[in-house]
Amino acid sequence: MSIRTILEIDGRQGEGGGQILRSSLTLSAATGRPFRIRHIRGGRRKSGLLRQHLTAARAAARVCDARLEGDVLGSTELTFEPQSCQAGHYELQVGSAGSCLLVLQTVLPILIRLESPSTLSLEGGTHNPSAPPFESIVESLIPVLSSAGAKISLSLERPGFFPAGGGRVSVSIDPASAPRPIDLLERGSQLSQDACIAIAHIGDHVAEREWNVVRKELGWSDSALRVHRFESSLGPGNALSLILRHEHVTEVVSAIGTRHVSAERVAHQAVDQARRYLAASAPVGEHLADQLMLPLALLAGGRFRTLSPSLHTRTNAMVIEGFLGEGRIRIEDEPGDACRIEVEGI
């Protein structure tokens, strides 16, 4: 057992989901501080490690040569003792429709801080109901991280829809040689909007029905429609992403088609999210705020305005401060449905 003090983490705290584990893995690898987490996903109906969480733990362990205990499906306790982190090529397979992009978000903040480039080949879900889809990562998160000094490129080789999974994403990461703080307090002028509809092994009428709702409810012209038909997908699937591009930031809101849910309902889910964002003044959406805090804390920090923070966001801030010290994340409520988040980088 290492003589380093092990940080004890309760997986039931806050929103009690998998983000507590993923953030802990990232922060432990980056700081060298070991941790033990009990009651993994204790706030969920079915607690314990699912395949995507297990893959994330093993991926982080490979990157930093960590000693793992408890890394089995269904485990509610895990111990992680990191050593030195190494750049390289990593092939990471979820082995189910679980999100490979959540696995990416676990190892990405570690790899962008290293002195040598890395490449990743990820397999699993790319369009999941409970995780950011590929379009959100590539259109919204990566450009902001680029502003912070990271150099990342992603390509979707094959989509992975629930429940078949089997998606494949390639990632190239160059060192963030000169990290800089970000300042995202305003959106700037609106530049464009796109409705990207992904369909695989289902009729075109699904895309047509979703687009009819978007066009009617948001008043967008037909030039905004982008339909992507994926014949390479291992199973049927559908995802609708509304991409709202502004001068300083791009927001992506998404809805995933599932069995027994009509195309119209899927479209209304995305439209409702888009309306909430457009009606607010904050440039950073709720999900992007979640995704930004940890990599900014491990780079040069920054500040941004976002919608009122969710319990998920506040829990993530709590985990970050558990590893890096109190006061690293400052959340200040603003009038209306907004707040300002300031992140102190290391």
- Active site residues per annotation: 312
Contacts of 257 (CB under 8 A, 6+ apart): 206, 237, 238, 239, 240, 263, 266
Spacing of C-alpha 123 from chain mean position = 15
The widest CA-to-CA distance across the chain, in whole angstroms, is: 63
- Token pair 């801080």 is found at 113
Sheet of 182-184, strands arranged across: 182-184, 302-306, 338-343, 329-334
| 168 vs 188: CA distance, rounded Å | 34
Residue 11 · residue 38 · CB < 8 Å: yes
**Degrees (nearest 5) of the Cα angle 81, 82, 88?**
145
β-bridge pairing 250-257 and 237-246: antiparallel
Q: How many residues does the structure list for the chain?
A: 346
Burial class (CB in 10 A: 0-12, 13-18, 19+), 223: exposed
